[in-house]
C-alpha cells in the first residue's frame, strides 16, 4: 500500500549498446546511464566522459548570426579609439558578461566604460532613456549590450530615426519576440553574415579578411543563436557564453601588436567565469555547455581572476574539497553574485571581477558586502514566502486555476523570482509574483517542467508594457488598469485545459537496481557523468522491497529523516531530505521492519545521525556510502 500517490517514470533507454562496456572498460550500469542521456556511440561516450579544456571542440563563433559584422564594427571603434560603453544586466550572467568583455577590451587598449541598470529604477534591458542620456553625457560611439538587447525595439527605432552617432552590438541569448522589429531583417542579416569571410579551415585566423568587412550598413547588430535563420549548431548558450564567443572572434581579429597583450591561454582562463554563468542561468549542460562547464570547474581551482579567487577562498575556507561541482556554483557562489543586484545594485558584484581591482583589502571589503547582501536577500525572501504560505489553504485554488498569481506593494521585486521558484517546487504549477507600485505591476514568472511559460505569456503580449525571458523563467511589467484583465484571462485559459499544464509531479529514474549493485565503483562512475544540471541530471535509481532496519530519527528541525535500509542482505544509511515537503503535508510514519520502495542516489556519506550497530543484528555498511532518497512508496 502506497503512502502517497506516485508518478514514477523510467527513462531507461532500450538502445544502450552493452558491447561497448568491454571496449571502454565501463560497467553495464554506466553504459545504461549514458544511453539515458543520449550517449550511444563509442566516440560520443569518449567525448562525454573525457572532455578536456580544448577550445577547438567548441563551435566556430562565426557561425553565430552577424558575428563577422560585429567584429568589424568593434575593430573600427578600436582603430579610431572611439569610446565604447558596455550595457550589462544585474544578474550573475549579466555581471559576468560585462566583466569578461570589459577586461578584454581594457587589455586591448580600448576607451571603455560599463553600465549596469538598476533592477528597481531602470528594469531589464537597454531602453530609449539610457541611449539619450548616454549620447548626451558619455558620448560613446559604440554601445555593446550583453545578456540583453534582442527585443529592444524602441531603441532600434530611435537609432534609425535620429543622429545619435551610436552603433549597437548585442550579445544575447534571450528568446526573440515574434513581433520584435529587430527580427524583421534577421534572415537577410544572417544570410549576409554567412557570406562574409570565414576563418581558415585549419583553425587559424585571417585578420585581414575580417578587417575588410564593411559592417557600417547596420547600426543595431544582434548576435544571438536563437535568431530566426541562425545556423549556429547550439541554441542554449548563456549570455556570457555568447559574449565569450564574441571575445574569441575579436581576439582572433586583433593585429599582432594588440594580440601580444594576451597570454596564449587567455581564452581558456575565462572559462571559469563563463561556466558560472551557464549554471547560474540554468542552461542545459550538454553540447558545448558541457565543455565550458567541465573545463571551467577545473579552471576555478586556480582561477586568475583576483576577485573570484578571494571569494572562492572565503566561502570554501572550511571545506576539504576535491574540485568544484555544479552545486558549488549554483548554490554557493552564484547567490553571492546575484545578491547585490537583488537588494541594491549589481555594481559590487561587477567590481569584484574587474581586473584592475587587485588590492586585497579592497577585494575583501567587496566580499564582505556581498555576504551582507546575501544574508539580507535570504531574510527578505523568507519573509515573502512565509507571508504567502500563511494566507491559508491554497491547494483548492491551485488545483482549480492551474496557476498561482499574487501581488503586493510591499514586496521587493529583487527576490520574487527566487520565491516563485520555491512555490513552483511546492505546488507544481506556474507561479507569477508581482510588486505593485507607481501604477504598474512588475513581476517574475517561473514555470514547471514541460510547460513553456514564455510561449503561453506571448498570447497575452498586448497586456504587457515589458516582457522577456525563457521557457521556464520570464519577467513582465503590466499597467495597473490591465492587471485584473490579464489575471482573469490567463487563469481562464489554463483552468479550461484538461491536461495543460500537467500539475502532477513527476519522478524520473534511470533504472532499477538492488543494493548488491551499490558500491564505490558505482559512485566513481556516477562522478564521471558530472557536471550535473539541466539536461544532465544526477542518476536516480529505483530499489524495491527495502526494509527499515532501525527506528528512524528526525533532525532537530524536523525537516529530514535518517534510517537504515536493508535489501539483499546489505544495509545502507539513508537520508530523506525535506520529509514533510515530499509527503505534501500528509501524515506519514515509518517503523522498524516496514517495507518500502525508494528512488535514490548513492553518495559518499557526509552525515552521521545514527549508530552503525542497530537492534535485530543488522549493521550498517562500512563502505561510507549513503543513499539520498528522493521519494518512496
Q: Cell numbers of 619, please? A: 549493521
- Specify the pLDDT at position 621: 59
Ordered by start, the domain boundaries in the chain are 8-13+506-632, 55-292, 391-495
**77: pLDDT strictly greater than 90:** yes
Q: So what's the pLDDT on residue 447?
A: 95
All residues at 6 or more sequence positions from 185 whose CB lies less than 8 Å from its CB, including other chains: none
Query: How many helices (DSSP H) and strands (DSSP E) are in the chain?
Result: 25, 19
Tell me the backbone φ, ψ of residue 477, rounded to 5 degrees. Answer: -130, 130
Q: 153: closest CA among 85, 222, 214?
A: 222
How much is the pLDDT for 341? 93
What are the pLDDT digits (tens) for 177-208? 866 554 544 443 444 444 333 333 333 333 33
SS3 labels along 250-306: HHHHCCHHHHCCCCCCHHHHCHHHHHHHHHHCCCCCCHHHHHHHHHHHHHHCCCCCH
CATH number of 55-292: 3.90.1640.30
Residue whose entry in the numeric block shows the C-alpha cell 579609439: 81
Q: Determine if the peptide bond prior to 531 is cis (ω within 30°).
A: yes
CA distance 379 to 394: 23
* pTM, full prediction: 0.87
Full DSSP string of 411-474? S-GGGHHHHHHHHHHHH-S-EEEEEEETTEEEEEEE--TT--HHHHHHTTGGGEEEEEE-SSEE
Taking phi over 0 as left and psi of -120 to 50 as alpha, with beta for the rest, 229 belongs to left
Using alpha carbons, select from 561, 548, 557 the residue that is nearest to residue 597.
548
pLDDT of residue 234 exceeding 70, the answer is: yes
Find the mean pLDDT for residues 366-372.
96
Q: What is the mean pLDDT of residues 311-336?
A: 89
Q: Are 628 and 606 in contact (CB under 8 A)?
A: no
Segment 425-434, tens digit of pLDDT = 989 999 999 9
Q: State which fold the 8-13+506-632 domain adopts.
A: OB fold (Dihydrolipoamide Acetyltransferase, E2P) (2.40.50)
Q: Which residues contact 129 (CB under 8 A, 6 or more apart)?
A: none
Question: Residue 70 — very low, low, confident or very high, per pLDDT cuts 50/70/90?
Answer: very high
**Which of these CATH numbers, 3.30.460.80, 3.30.360.10, 3.10.310.30, 3.40.30.20, describes 391-495?**
3.10.310.30
pLDDT number for residue 207: 34
- Of the chain, the end-to-end C-alpha distance in Å amounts to 8
pLDDT at 164 over 60: yes
Contact 131, 85 (CB under 8 A): no
Amino acid at each position: 500500500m502506497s503512502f502517497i500517490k506516485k508518478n514514477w517514470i523510467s527513462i531507461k533507454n532500450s538502445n544502450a549498446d552493452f558491447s561497448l562496456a568491454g571496449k571502454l572498460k565501463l560497467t553495464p550500469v554506466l553504459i545504461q546511464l549514458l544511453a539515458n542521456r543520449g550517449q550511444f556511440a563509442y566516440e560520443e561516450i569518449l567525448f562525454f566522459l573525457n572532455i578536456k579544456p580544448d577550445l577547438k571542440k567548441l563551435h566556430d563563433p562565426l557561425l553565430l548570426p552577424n558575428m563577422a559584422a560585429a567584429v568589424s564594427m568593434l575593430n573600427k571603434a578600436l582603430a579610431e579609439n572611439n569610446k565604447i560603453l558596455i550595457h550589462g544586466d544585474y544578474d550573475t550572467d549579466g555581471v559576468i558578461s560585462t566583466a569578461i568583455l570589459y577586461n578584454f577590451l581594457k587589455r586591448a587598449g580600448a576607451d571603455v566604460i560599463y553600465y549596469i541598470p538598476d533592477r528597481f529604477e531602470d528594469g531589464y534591458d537597454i531602453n530609449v532613456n539610457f541611449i539619450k542620456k548616454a549620447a548626451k553625457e558619455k558620448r560613446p560611439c559604440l554601445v555593446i549590450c550583453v545578456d540583453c538587447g534582442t527585443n529592444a525595439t524602441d531603441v532600434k527605432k530611435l537609432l534609425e530615426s535620429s543622429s545619435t552617432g551610436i552603433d549597437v552590438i548585442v550579445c544575447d541569448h534571450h528568446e526573440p519576440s515574434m513581433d520584435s522589429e529587430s527580427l524583421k531583417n534577421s534572415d537577410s542579416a544572417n544570410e549576409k553574415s554567412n557570406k562574409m569571410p570565414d576563418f581558415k579551415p585549419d583553425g587559424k585566423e585571417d585578420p585581414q579578411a575580417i578587417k575588410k568587412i564593411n559592417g557600417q550598413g547596420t547600426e543595431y547588430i544582434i548576435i544571438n543563436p536563437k535568431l530566426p535563420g541562425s545556423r549556429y549548431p547550439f541554441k542554449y548558450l548563456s549570455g556570457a557564453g555568447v559574449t565569450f564567443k564574441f571575445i574569441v572572434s575579436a581576439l582572433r581579429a586583433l593585429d599582432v601588436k594588440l594580440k601580444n597583450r594576451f597570454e596564449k591561454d587567455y581564452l581558456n582562463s575565462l572559462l571559469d567565469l563563463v561556466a558560472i554563468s551557464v549554471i547560474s542561468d540554468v542552461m542545459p549542460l550538454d553540447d558545448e555547455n558541457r565543455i565550458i562547464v567541465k573545463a571551467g570547474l577545473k579552471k576555478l581551482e586556480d582561477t586568475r581572476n583576483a576577485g573570484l579567487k578571494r571569494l572562492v577562498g572565503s566561502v570554501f575556507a572550511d571545506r576539504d574539497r576535491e574540485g568544484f561541482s555544479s552545486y558549488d556554483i549554483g548554490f554557493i557562489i552564484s547567490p553571492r553574485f546575484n545578491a547585490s543586484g537583488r537588494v541594491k545594485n549589481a555594481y559590487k558584484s561587477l567590481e569584484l571581477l574587474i581586473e584592475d581591482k587587485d588590492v586585497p583589502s579592497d577585494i575583501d571589503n567587496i566580499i564582505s558586502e556581498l555576504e551582507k547582501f546575501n544574508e539580507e536577500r535570504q531574510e527578505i525572501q523568507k519573509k515573502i514566502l512565509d507571508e504567502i504560505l500563511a494566507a491559508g489553504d491554497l491547494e483548492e485554488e491551485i488545483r482549480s486555476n492551474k496557476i498561482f498569481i499574487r501581488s503586493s506593494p510591499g514586496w521587493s521585486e529583487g527576490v520574487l523570482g527566487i520565491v516563485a521558484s520555491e512555490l513552483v517546487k511546492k505546488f507544481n504549477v506556474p507561479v507569477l509574483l508581482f510588486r505593485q507600485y507607481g501604477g504598474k505591476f512588475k513581476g517574475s514568472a517561473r514555470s514547471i517542467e514541460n510547460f513553456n511559460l514564455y510561449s503561453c505569456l506571448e498570447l497575452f503580449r498586448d497586456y504587457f508594457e515589458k516582457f522577456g525571458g525563457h521557457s521556464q523563467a520570464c519577467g513582465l511589467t503590466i499597467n495597473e488598469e490591465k492587471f485584473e484583465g490579464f489575471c482573469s484571462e490567463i487563469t481562464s485559459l489554463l483552468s479550461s485545459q484538461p491536461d495543460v499544464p500537467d500539475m502532477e509531479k513527476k519522478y524520473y529514474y534511470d533504472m532499477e537496481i538492488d543494493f548488491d549493485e551499490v558500491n564505490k565503483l558505482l559512485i566513481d562512475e556516477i562522478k564521471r557523468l558530472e557536471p550535473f544540471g539541466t539536461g544532465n541530471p544526477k542518476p536516480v535509481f529505483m530499489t524495491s522491497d527495502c526494509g527499515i532496519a532501525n527506528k528512524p530519527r528526525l533532525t532537530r528541525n524536523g525537516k529530514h529523516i535518517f534510517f537504515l535500509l536493508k535489501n539483499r542482505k546489505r544495509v545502507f544509511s539513508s537520508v530523506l531530505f525535506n520529509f514533510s515537503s515530499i509527503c505534501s503535508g500528509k501524515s506519514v510514519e515509518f517503523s522498524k521492519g516496514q517495507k518500502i520502495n525508494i528512488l535514490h542516489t548513492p553518495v559518499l556519506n557526509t552525515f552521521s545521525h545514527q549508530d552503525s550497530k542497530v537492534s535485530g543484528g543488522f549493521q550498517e555498511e562500512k563502505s561510507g556510502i549513503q543513499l539520498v532518497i528522493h521519494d518512496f512508496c
